[in-house]
Homo-oligomer: A and B are copies of this chain.
Amino acid sequence: MGTLWAMPTSRRFTLREIAEHVGGAVLGEPQVAITGVSNPAGAGPGDLVFVEDESYLASLGSSRAAAAIIAEGIDLPPGMSGIRVRHPALAMARALEILFPPERTFREVSPQAFVGRGVVLGEDVGIGPGVYLGDGVRIGRGTEIHPGTTIGRGASIGQDCVFYSGVHIYQGVSIGNRVRLHSGCVIGADGFGFIQERVESFPEEPIRQHKVQQVGTVVIEDDVEIGANTTIDRAALEVTSIGKGTKIDNLVMIGHNVRIGRHVILVAQCGIAGSSVLEDYVTLGGQSGVVGHIRLGRGAMAAAQSGVTKSVPAGLTVWGMPAFDIRRARKALALLEHLPEYRKLLLELEERLDRLENGPGAGGST
């Protein structure tokens, strides 16, 4: 870790303090000083590492780590201190939160920001230089907005949000509390709505695309995180909505009128076409796509690169293009590689059958 790059300055804690924070039991020396985090192979003095299963134990033995977070049922190497917990990964996430507490960059409203008329800002809002806030924008207390982000007129932003640089929010969008938006994401651009219009007087171009005004909006609930360069379009008439706690990766596309439930996971570069519904706890893998006007039930999943062409019942995982039950898809798609052999065998069988049917012993059954 320390050998790779200069980590952000961390606070310094004793092993006991961290154990208390993560809800684990100290093994060994509670006064060990922890100043960083690493994996076993790269750890330096002062680093805390975590070991989820026995496969990491070997590297832990030769590690220079100060201490390890370790699952129940696993033993530490002799002489090493640690913290025993039920869920090492979760404990590690919690340890990171106190070792590297999120730092605010902007705590005031920059005089170089562009603030419209009637803007209402809560206490402790930080607005970077070059930010644009349209007329009537409302921002809750503790929210931080980095340089170059724009928020259209009448948009409403909750408390304790962080919007990084270059986020673009269109007019009237509504965003809850503790929402994190990464650079380049675009919330509330027009949905892709056009009606084909015949123009009979113009035979060269007999059909044109007539734009449908997108007069709906986007509503994003609390605790949502949205990745870099993801786009979420405003509804045609009503609302494109993202439920509480949902996490969205980079370069994802969410079409107009889509309704996404709570605690949904959307991995990078997936896309959801207009008016589809994803219930709570749905997961979409990277580069997967969902056609319009279908519904994915609670906890349904689509594996990476799936093309979901019809509704998926709650709890089912699908894969493939078109997508179907992943238990069958794993077997079916593994056969693709062998298609040429099966084709060859099929043609051989046909030939053998021809011979059998026409041969002396077989007798003509046709």
Footprint of B on A, CB under 8 Å? 1, 4-5, 7-8, 37-39, 42, 87, 89-90, 92-94, 96-97, 100, 102, 105, 110, 112, 114, 128-130, 132, 134, 146-148, 150, 152-153, 164-166, 168, 170-172, 174, 180, 182-184, 186, 189-190, 192, 194-195, 197, 205, 207-213, 215-217, 219, 225, 227-229, 231, 233, 237-239, 244-245, 247, 249-251, 253, 255, 262-263, 265, 267-269, 271, 273, 280-281, 286-287, 289, 291, 304-305, 307, 320-322, 324, 328-329, 331-340, 342-343, 345-346, 349-350, 352-353, 355-357, 359-366
Within the complex, what minimum Cβ distance (angstroms) separates A299 from chain B? 10
Within the complex, what minimum Cβ distance (angstroms) separates A177 from chain B? 15
Q: How many copies of this chain are found per oligomer? A: 3
Give every chain B residue within 8 A of A289 (Cβ-Cβ): 269, 286-287, 304-305
Within the complex, what minimum Cβ distance (angstroms) separates A314 from chain B? 14
- The answer for the CA separation of A162 and B73 in the assembled complex, in Å, is 53
- The answer for the CA separation of A335 and B328 in the assembled complex, in Å, is 12
Within the complex, what minimum Cβ distance (angstroms) separates A136 from chain B? 12
Cβ contact within 8 Å between B166 and A150: yes
Give every chain B residue within 8 A of A90 (Cβ-Cβ): 195, 197, 210
A212 interface neighbour in B93, B184, B265, Cβ under 8 Å: B93
Give every chain B residue within 8 A of A291 (Cβ-Cβ): 286, 304
Cβ contact within 8 Å between B237 and A38: yes
